[in-house]
Amino acid sequence: MGKVYLVGAGPGDPELITVKGLKCIQQADVILYDRLINEQLLSYAKRDADLIYCGKLPNYHTMKQETINHFLVKHAKRGKYVTRLKGGDPFLFGRGGEEAQALIKHRIPFEIVPGVTSGIAVPAYAGIPVTHRDFSGSVAFVTGHRRLDATDAVQWEHLAKGVDTLVIYMGVKHLPFICKQLQLYGRQPQTPVAVIQWGTLPEQKTIVATLHTIADAVRKSCISNPSIIIVGEVVRLHEQLQWFETMLEEKIAHGMR
Q: How many CB atoms lie within 10 A of CB 57?
A: 9
Annotated active-site residue in 34, 80, 86, 89: 34
Chain center to CA of 190: 26
- Contact (CB, 8 A) for 29 and 81: yes
Residue count (the chain): 257
Find, among 97, 91, 87, the residue nearest to 122 by Cα: 87
Based on the residue annotation, tell me whether 56 is a catalytic residue of this protein.
yes
Helix (H) / strand (E) element for 43: namely none
Q: What are the backbone dihedrals phi and psi of residue 175, each rounded to the nearest 5 degrees, phi first?
A: -60, -45
C-alpha 215/C-alpha 75 separation (Å) is 45
- Residue tagged active-site, from 13, 29, 86, 170: 170
Q: Which of 56, 74, 173, 180 is catalytic?
A: 56
Is 256 one of the catalytic residues? no
* Residue 50 known to be catalytic: no
Q: Would you name the residues annotated as active-site residues?
A: 34, 56, 170
